[in-house]
A and B are shown apart, each in its own frame.
Chain A
Amino acid sequence: MAFNTSFFNDLTDIFSKQDGYQLAQTLSPDIPTEELRKICRSQNAHSIKGALKRGLNALTVDFDQQEIHGWVEVYAAYWNATGVILAARESSNDSSKSSSLLWTKVYETWTELLNVVLRGYQNWGFEAWTIPCMYVVCKHLRIFAMQADEERNNNSSFDDAAAILQDDFDPETNKRQKLEDCARVLSRVFMVCQTDRAPLEESRKWGSYYIANLLLKTYFKLNSASLSKNILNSLRAGGRDMPDFSAFPKSQQVTFKYHEGVLAFLEENYVLAEQCLTEAWNLCHKDAMKNKELILGYLIPCHLIKSHTLPAEKLLEPFPELQRLFLPLCRCIKRGELHKFDLALQEGEDEFVKRRIYLTLERGRDIALRNLLRKVFVARGFEEAKEGEKPARRTRVPVAEFAAGISLGSQEKIDNDEVECLLANMIYKGHMKGYISRQHGIVVLSKSGAFPGTNV
C-alpha cells in the first residue's frame, strides 16, 4: 500500500461498500516492514496533506467537506506514525542504536493518531460503520504502550524525575507508565462510544464492547480489578439504551463474559462467576482452544467450590496444560487423600497463585477431608442388624479413629483437639451431620445421611 492511485481506488470501493473492517486494514501498523517503508516513502511531510486532500476529493463517494478534512487528518497522522514505527523496528534489529526510547515515541505518535480518529467521530461526522478503524487503532495503542514500557524498563538510565517533590516515592509509577496512560486514553474512547446519542443503527455504542474488552484486558494487566468494575457498572447503567448484548459479535460476547466471570470469581462471587463463565463457554467457538482453556481455568475451580464437582477426564483430554494443573488435585479429592492433596497443592502453588486460583482450590481440601472422614465412617461397617430391618451403620465414631484416618497419609500424629476442631468445622459447613461429645470422645453421626450428597 502507498498513498497512490490504487489506494484511492480501494478507498472508493471500501466507502461504497461501507466495509468497516477493510477500511480499518488501511490503518493497521501490523504490516511487513517493506510495506511500511513504501507508505512512508510515498509522501513527505510537505506534500502529504495536499495529496490526501486531492485524492479524497476525487473519490466518487458522498462525502461532506468535514468528513474529507477528517480523513485527511487521520491518514496524515497515520503516515506520520509509519515513519516512527519504521525507525523503531529498524533500531530494534540493530541493537547498537537503541539508545533512545523509540517505542515511547511510537506510542506518542500513535496516541496522536488515536486523538485524530476520536475527533473524527466527535467533530467531523465519521459514520458508525467505520468504527473498526477505532478498534484497530486502540488495539495497537495498547501493544505499543506495552512495548514502550518494556523498552524503558530494560533501560534503567531513563529514570524519571517526577517523584521528586513527593514525601515518599511511589515505586509503581514508572513501571507501567505508558500502559496506565493507555488505560486512560482507552477509557476516554470508551466514554465516546458509550455516550453517543445517535439512533442505534448508526450509533458508536456498537463499539462499546470491543473497547470495553480492550480496557478490561489492560486493567487485568495493571492488576486493577476495581477499575474493571467501573467499566461493568457503566455498561450496566447504560443497559437500556444499549443494543441487546446478544446482537454484538459473538467473539466480543465471549471475551466480555469471560472477563466478567473472572472478576466475579476474584470477588468470591462464585454464583455469578459460574454463570458468566458458563455463558462464555457455551458461546465460545469450538475450535478456539486457547479461549476454552482460559475459561476452564476458572470454571473448574468454580464448580469445585459451588457444586463440589470435579471435571471429567474426557473434558480435559484436549487440554494437557489443564490436566497437569488440575488432575492431581482432583484425584486426591476424589480418593480423600488429604496428605497427597496438600502435597499437590504445594506442588502447583506458584502456578495457582499466578492464576489467582490458589485460594479457591485450597478450599477443595474440605471436600478431600470430607471424603476421608466418609471413608472412615464407611469402613466401620454396620451395627448388627435386627431381625427384618435394614442394617444401620455404626454412627458412634471415636474421635481417635478419625484422627488415625487423618494421620494415615502423612504419618504425622495429630492431636485430638485439632481433629475435633476439623470435625466441628465439617459440621458447621454442613459437610457432615452429627455432633461431637467431648466427654466421651466420640462423634455421633446422623443415621440418615451423615455425609449429605454422598449417598451415605
Chain B
Amino acid sequence: MNTSNMMPTWPAAPPPGTQPSTGYAASYPAPAYTAVQVRQSFGQSYSTPQPPYPVAHTYGPSHSSSPSAANIATNVNPSPPAAQEQAKTKIDWPDSVRRYVQRAFIPANLDSSVTRADMEAKLKETITQANEKNVMYSLDWDTMPLPQHMIREERARASLPLHSKSQAQSPAQAPGTKKRKSWDLTDAATLHPVSAAPPWRAGAGRLEDRVSFSPDRRQGDELPKNTSKFNRADKRQKRHEGEYTTYREDTPPPGDGPVVGTCQDLEKRYLRLTAAPKPSQVRPPHILRQTLELLKKRWKKDQNYSYICDQFKSMRQDLTVQRVRDDFTVEVYEIHARIALEKGDLGEYNQCQSQLKGLYRLGLKGKANEFKAYRILYYIHTANRTELNNALADLTAAEKKDRAIKHALDVRSALALGNYHRFFQLYNETPNMGAYLMDMFVGRERLAALCNICRGYKMDVPLRFVTEELYFESDVEAAQFILDHEGQELLEDRNGTIVFLTGKAGSRFEGARAKAFSRVDIKGQI
C-alpha cells in the first residue's frame, strides 16, 4: 500500500491545533514502516499525531516542548465531517487497523481502571485522527499503544504539572498475541458515542482511577545506563564491592526539612523525584500502614509483581522523604525484600537489603537475623570474599548462634572446605526463604561435587549415591543433570541398577565447573 495513492481519498487539511502532516511525512516516508519488524518499545516508531507521547526526535523541537498544543490535540473531538467520512469508508480499513482494535480488546490487555466506554472513545479518536491525517495506511498499527494505555498516560499527564519537562516513555506492554478474536471492528468503534467529558473524568469515583500514573516511571526500568552514569564514580565502586546494586538516582538539592505528607490515597505509582516532593502527593505514615495491609492482600490475591514492586517503591519513597525510620519502615523493606527474593528480582532485593542494613544498625526492630543470613548466602552466591569478610566481622556472638545465621555460616564453611556432603544436607534444612538464594548456586556446587566424585572414586558409583549426595529429587533428575553436562557415556545399566562411571569421566565436568564459577552475573550489579 502506498500513501500517495491514498492521498486523494482523505480530506487533506488537519484540524487547527494538531500537527501539520508534513512533519510526519518527512520523518516517516511511507515505505519505512515495513522495514521495522519487531519493536521492544514505542519510543522510535510511534508516528501518530498523539501528543501524549512527545518523543523529542519524532516531532520537531518546537512541538515537543509545547504541552499546550498537546492538550489541545488530546481534547479534539472527532469533527462531524470526519466521522461521516469514516462511516462512508469503513470497508476500506486496512487489516492493520482491524488487528489493532482486536488487540485492544484481548482480555489480557484490558485494564480494569479504564472503562470500556473510555476505551472505545479513545479508539475512535485515534482512528479518526489517523484518517484525517492520511496516515491510516502508513502507521505501524502493530506497535501503536493501545487505547487503555493512552488513557492511562493521559491521566498521568493530567496529574502532572503542566510544564513538566520529563521525557515521556511510551508504555511498553507486551505485544498482544496475534490470535484473532471474534471482536467486530465496526462494533467496537461505533457502538458507543463519544462522551463529552475528558476520558480521565469518566471513572473518577473509583479508587484505581485516582492512582496517578507517571509517564516517566519507566525510565528507571528501561534506561538503567542513562541513570547510572550520573553516579559518582566512587559510589559505583562502593556498590561494586557491596550489594549496592542498580542505579541509585541522582537527587536534586535538599529542601529545608522533611515533608509532612497529606495525601490520603492508598495507592500511588512510583515516580522518581525530580524536584522537592509536594506534601499533597506524599502519604503520611498512618495512610502508609493501610497501604501496606492493602498491598499484602493484593499480593496474596493477584501475585502481580510489577504492580507490587511499583507500589512498594512509592511507599519507600514516601517514607524516605518524610524521614520515617521506624519499625514500620523496617517492615516495609522486609516485605519488599522477601517478595523480590521470591520473584528473583535481585536488583530490588539488594536495594532493600542495603537499606535494611542501615535500619537495623539504627537499632530498629525487625527480622535482622533472617536478613543477615540472606546476606551471607547472597555473598556466597556472588563469591564476594571481601563483603563476606565484612559480614562475618559484623556478627556478634549471639547472632552467630541464631538458627538462620548459623545455617548460613555453616553453608559457607562447608563450601570453603569442599565438604559437599555437609553442604547438601544444609541445603535441605534451609530456614526462611534462604532456599531461593541457595537455588542460585546449588547448580554450580553440584558440578564441583561431581568433579570431586569423578576424581576420587574408582571405578564407578551407583547413580543413587550421586542422587543422595548431591540432593537430587530423584535418580531421573540426577541422570538428567549428568546428561545435561555431556555425561552420556558415563551412565550404564548394570542388572537394573544404574551406575555412574566415575573412572571414565576424566576431566569432563571441569569445563562446566570453571564456567559456572567464573563470573556471577547479577542483574543490577554494575
Using CB atoms and an 8 Å cutoff, list the residues of chain A in contact with chain B.
Answer: 161-172, 180, 183-184, 223-227, 266, 268, 349, 353-354, 356, 358-359, 362-363, 365-366, 417-418, 420-425, 427-429, 435-438, 444
Task: Assess the B313–A424 pair: CB atoms within 8 A.
Answer: no
Task: Assess the A266–B386 pair: CB atoms within 8 A.
Answer: yes
B455 in the interface (beta carbon within 8 A) = yes
Contacts of A425 in B (CB 8 A): 417-419, 452, 456
Assess A358 versus B389: contact at CB under 8 Å? Given A165-B321, A366-B417, A421-B419. Answer: yes
Task: Assess the B385–A226 pair: CB atoms within 8 A.
Answer: no
| Bound-state Cα–Cα, A163 to B362, Å | 15
Task: Say whether chain A's binding surface is mostly helix, strand, loop, or mixed.
Answer: helix
Chain B positions 416-453 with a Cβ under 8 Å from a chain A Cβ: 416-422, 451-453
Task: Assess the A167–B317 pair: CB atoms within 8 A.
Answer: yes
Task: Assess the A428–B456 pair: CB atoms within 8 A.
Answer: yes
Contacts of B459 in A (CB 8 A): 437
B316 in the interface (beta carbon within 8 A) = yes
Contact of A164 among B254, B354, B358, B453 (CB under 8 A): B254
Contacts of A225 in B (CB 8 A): 241, 386
Contacts of B355 in A (CB 8 A): 168-169, 171
Chain B positions 244-299 with a Cβ under 8 Å from a chain A Cβ: 248-249, 251-255, 257-258, 272-273, 276-277
Contact of A362 among B249, B417, B452 (CB under 8 A): B417
Contacts of B249 in A (CB 8 A): 166-167
| Bound-state Cα–Cα, A437 to B389, Å | 38
Contacts of A171 in B (CB 8 A): 355, 357-359, 361-362
Q: How many A-B residue pairs have CB under 8 A?
A: 145
B138 in the interface (beta carbon within 8 A) = no
CB-CB nearest in chain B for A161: B254
Task: Assess the A164–B469 pair: CB atoms within 8 A.
Answer: no
B392 in the interface (beta carbon within 8 A) = yes
Contact of A435 among B252, B418, B456 (CB under 8 A): B456
Task: Assess the A169–B421 pair: CB atoms within 8 A.
Answer: no
Minimum CB–CB distance for A297 against chain B, Å: 15
Contacts of B272 in A (CB 8 A): 167
Task: Assess the B251–A165 pair: CB atoms within 8 A.
Answer: yes
Minimum CB–CB distance for B221 against chain A, Å: 14
CB-CB nearest in chain B for A169: B320
CB-CB nearest in chain A for B357: A171
Contact of B252 among A165, A184, A349, A424 (CB under 8 A): A165
Using CB atoms and an 8 Å cutoff, list the residues of chain B in contact with chain A.
Answer: 234, 237-238, 240-241, 248-249, 251-255, 257-258, 272-273, 276-277, 313, 316-317, 320-321, 323, 325, 351, 354-355, 357-359, 361-362, 385-386, 388-390, 392-393, 413, 416-422, 451-453, 455-459, 461-462, 465, 469
Q: A167-B316, A424-B452 are in contact. List 19 more A-B contacts (CB 8 A).
A: A164-B321, A165-B253, A165-B277, A167-B273, A168-B316, A168-B354, A169-B323, A169-B355, A171-B359, A226-B241, A353-B393, A358-B389, A363-B416, A420-B456, A424-B456, A427-B452, A427-B455, A428-B418, A428-B452
Task: Say whether chain B's binding surface is mostly helix, strand, loop, or mixed.
Answer: helix
Task: Assess the B416–A435 pair: CB atoms within 8 A.
Answer: no
Minimum CB–CB distance for B463 against chain A, Å: 12
Contacts of A421 in B (CB 8 A): 418-422, 452, 469
Contacts of B358 in A (CB 8 A): 169-172
Which 5 pairs, one residue from A and one from B, show the smallest C-beta to C-beta distance? A171-B358, A424-B456, A421-B421, A435-B458, A425-B418
Assess A438 versus B386: contact at CB under 8 Å? Given A166-B320, A418-B421, A425-B419. Answer: no
**A–B pairs, 18, beta carbons within 8 Å:** A164-B255, A165-B252, A166-B248, A167-B320, A168-B354, A169-B325, A171-B355, A171-B361, A172-B358, A225-B386, A358-B392, A359-B416, A418-B422, A421-B422, A424-B453, A424-B455, A425-B456, A437-B458
Contacts of B456 in A (CB 8 A): 420, 423-425, 427-428, 435-436
Contacts of A363 in B (CB 8 A): 416-417
Task: Assess the A354–B385 pair: CB atoms within 8 A.
Answer: no
| Bound-state Cα–Cα, A167 to B458, Å | 58
Contacts of A359 in B (CB 8 A): 385, 388-389, 416
Contacts of A223 in B (CB 8 A): 241, 390
Minimum CB–CB distance for B82 against chain A, Å: 46
| Bound-state Cα–Cα, A416 to B325, Å | 52
Assess A227 versus B237: contact at CB under 8 Å? Given A164-B257, A166-B251, A167-B316. Answer: yes
| Bound-state Cα–Cα, A170 to B243, Å | 12
Contacts of A358 in B (CB 8 A): 389, 392
Contacts of B351 in A (CB 8 A): 168
Contacts of A427 in B (CB 8 A): 452, 455-456
Task: Assess the B419–A161 pair: CB atoms within 8 A.
Answer: no
Residue from A165, A166, A180, A184 having most chain B Cβ neighbours under 10 A: A165
Task: Assess the B417–A365 pair: CB atoms within 8 A.
Answer: yes
Contacts of B362 in A (CB 8 A): 171
Contacts of B422 in A (CB 8 A): 418, 421
Minimum CB–CB distance for B429 against chain A, Å: 15
Contacts of A422 in B (CB 8 A): 418-419
Task: Assess the A165–B413 pair: CB atoms within 8 A.
Answer: no
| Bound-state Cα–Cα, A166 to B386, Å | 27
| Bound-state Cα–Cα, A266 to B456, Å | 30
CB-CB nearest in chain A for B244: A170
Contacts of A437 in B (CB 8 A): 457-459
Assess A224 versus B234: contact at CB under 8 Å? Given A164-B258, A167-B249, A171-B357. Answer: yes
Assess A428 versus B416: contact at CB under 8 Å? Given A162-B254, A166-B320, A184-B234. Answer: no
Task: Assess the A428–B320 pair: CB atoms within 8 A.
Answer: no
Contacts of A184 in B (CB 8 A): 234
Minimum CB–CB distance for A195 against chain B, Å: 18
Residue from A161, A354, A424 having most chain B Cβ neighbours under 10 A: A424
Contacts of B418 in A (CB 8 A): 421-422, 425, 428-429
CB-CB nearest in chain B for A427: B456
Contacts of A164 in B (CB 8 A): 254-255, 257-258, 320-321, 323
CB-CB nearest in chain A for B453: A424
Contacts of B276 in A (CB 8 A): 165
Contact of B457 among A183, A366, A435 (CB under 8 A): A435
| Bound-state Cα–Cα, A385 to B456, Å | 29
Task: Assess the B320–A168 pair: CB atoms within 8 A.
Answer: yes
| Bound-state Cα–Cα, A438 to B351, Å | 48
| Bound-state Cα–Cα, A163 to B457, Å | 58
CB-CB nearest in chain A for B469: A417
Contacts of A429 in B (CB 8 A): 418
Contacts of B273 in A (CB 8 A): 165, 167
| Bound-state Cα–Cα, A365 to B277, Å | 56
| Bound-state Cα–Cα, A366 to B258, Å | 56
Contact of A180 among B234, B248, B258 (CB under 8 A): B234
CB-CB nearest in chain A for B256: A161
Contacts of B457 in A (CB 8 A): 420, 424, 435-438
CB-CB nearest in chain A for B503: A435
CB-CB nearest in chain B for A426: B456
| Bound-state Cα–Cα, A32 to B88, Å | 99
Contacts of B462 in A (CB 8 A): 438
CB-CB nearest in chain B for A166: B251
Minimum CB–CB distance for A219 against chain B, Å: 10
Contacts of A435 in B (CB 8 A): 456-458
| Bound-state Cα–Cα, A168 to B357, Å | 12
Task: Assess the B238–A354 pair: CB atoms within 8 A.
Answer: no
Contact of B455 among A162, A172, A349, A428 (CB under 8 A): A428
Task: Assess the B458–A436 pair: CB atoms within 8 A.
Answer: yes
| Bound-state Cα–Cα, A337 to B457, Å | 26
Minimum CB–CB distance for B83 against chain A, Å: 47
Contacts of B393 in A (CB 8 A): 353-354
| Bound-state Cα–Cα, A358 to B417, Å | 13
